[in-house]
Amino acid sequence: MKGVTFLNPEFFWLFILLPIAAIWFLLKWKKQSPSLKISSLKGFQHSRSILPKLKPFLFVFRLLALASLIVAMARPRTVDISSNTKTTKGIDIVMAVDVSGSMLARDLKPDRMEALKSVAAKFVEERPNDRIGLVVYASEAYTKTPVTSDKPLVLEAIKSIKYDNVLQDGTGIGMGLATAVNRLKDSKAKSKVIILLTDGVNNAGFIEPETASDIARQYGIKVYTIGIGTNGMAEFPYAMAPNGQLLFRMMQVEIDQELMKSIARKTGGKYFRATSNSRLGEIYEAINKLETTEIEELKFYDYEEKFRPFVWLAAGLLLAEIGLRNTVFRSFI
């Protein structure tokens, strides 16, 4: 009876009566048949029938019938549960990622860009019910992935992020933010969120970050800003060797934290500073908890009643007892 549940398990208390009935039967058994004392049995033919010894089993039939009825009243049944989840209020998220040359700094391991890619991929995997897009920016910005529910596509886009010559080097925070806003401005989602990550100061682009944040606020878009980079000095790329390899030297880490705080405050978001791989992971985890999606789960229960076989078993046992008592064992009653 694997997977069987009982709707009325309280009826199992009736099993206490069965041992009492058995004890009562044993005490009364010898008194149920009349006895006759005679001086000798020599005049009687000896019977080898075993029917008198089997007569007590009629009461066993009755006890088994009662036990079956008790189980039937407890309503055994199996249940097949199927669920259907529905996102009632989803969130649209755009991650705006700085891909300037400074993202190759080695204060995070193996560098800032690779550390970010690992954490961002985990963030996407933990939000299966939301739509996510990806914007990359340096001195200019472009949409790498539009807002979509296709998580494999977003994960592949994150994996392919790298420093190249597609965008002119520089840090256009306003450009990245404005491009992300453009991807969300027409969204009908309950909540619209931008995660803006940079490791520098705004030094490129024709859109000021303050202007882009004002537009984000007008469209009801919340911006979480992340400044990535350790405090103090870090290994930065400063030139490229003739063999194509980057050359690194220690330089001062410079992040416009006041600007990042202002953008977050103006749009109702929050500013974070990621100074290590673990801290970066904690930040994305914190954002994951701050922006929750409401999920409606519908469960369907398909019950299959199992009490009928016990009723039929009880009926069969009782009929068998009545039939035997009035046929085979009739002469002994």
Q: Is the dihedral of CA 230, 234, 239, 245 positive or negative?
A: negative
* Superfamily name with CATH number, domain 91-292: von Willebrand factor, type A domain (3.40.50.410)
What does the chain come to in residues? Answer: 333
On the question of pLDDT at 47 being above 70, the answer is no
On the question of pLDDT at 213 being above 60, the answer is yes
| pLDDT tier, 143 (very low <50, low <70, confident <90, very high otherwise) | very high
Structure-model confidence comparison of residues 299 and 231, the more confident one: 231
- Going by the DSSP 8-state scheme, the letter that residue 39 receives in this structure is S
Determine the average pLDDT of the residues in 157-179: 88
CB 115 within 8 A of CB 107: no
Q: What is the pLDDT of residue 333?
A: 43
Structure-model confidence comparison of residues 53 and 249, the more confident one: 249
Q: What is the pLDDT of residue 115?
A: 95
Q: Which of 103-112, 222-231, 243-252, 294-303 shows the lowest per-residue confidence on average (mean pLDDT)?
A: 294-303
Task: Give the Å distances, CA to CA, from 213 to 1, 94, 179, 188, 291.
Answer: 63, 14, 11, 20, 19
Which secondary structure element, helix H or strand E, spans residue 131, and what is its range?
Answer: strand 131-137
Q: Which of 89-98, 165-174, 195-204, 275-284 shows the lowest per-residue confidence on average (mean pLDDT)?
A: 165-174
Neighbours of 121 (CB within 10 A): 17
- Phi, psi of 310, deg, nearest 5: -70, -35
Which 3 state secondary structure label does DSSP give 201? coil
DSSP-assigned states of every residue in 137-185: ESSSEEEEEEEES-HHHHHHHHHT----SSS-SS--HHHHHHHHHHHHT
Distance CA 278, CA 59 (A): 74
Q: Which of 31-45, 59-73, 200-214, 297-311 shows the lowest per-residue confidence on average (mean pLDDT)?
A: 31-45
On the question of pLDDT at 84 being above 80, the answer is no
Q: What is the pLDDT of residue 80?
A: 78
Q: What is the pLDDT of residue 190?
A: 82
Distance CA 315, CA 312 (A): 5
Q: Which of 116-120, 162-166, 305-309 shows the lowest per-residue confidence on average (mean pLDDT)?
A: 162-166
- Phi, psi of 239, deg, nearest 5: -160, 170
- Phi, psi of 306, deg, nearest 5: -120, 10
| pLDDT tier, 227 (very low <50, low <70, confident <90, very high otherwise) | very high
How far is C-alpha 8 from the geometric centre of its chain's CA atoms? 31
On the question of pLDDT at 192 being above 80, the answer is yes
Residues contacting 25, CB < 8 A, separation 6+: 56, 59
Determine the average pLDDT of the residues in 137-155: 94
Structure-model confidence comparison of residues 61 and 204, the more confident one: 204
Domain ranges of the chain: 4-30+52-79+304-332, 91-292
What is the per-residue pLDDT across 117-134, written as a single tens digit (0 to 9) for each? Answer: 999 999 999 998 889 999
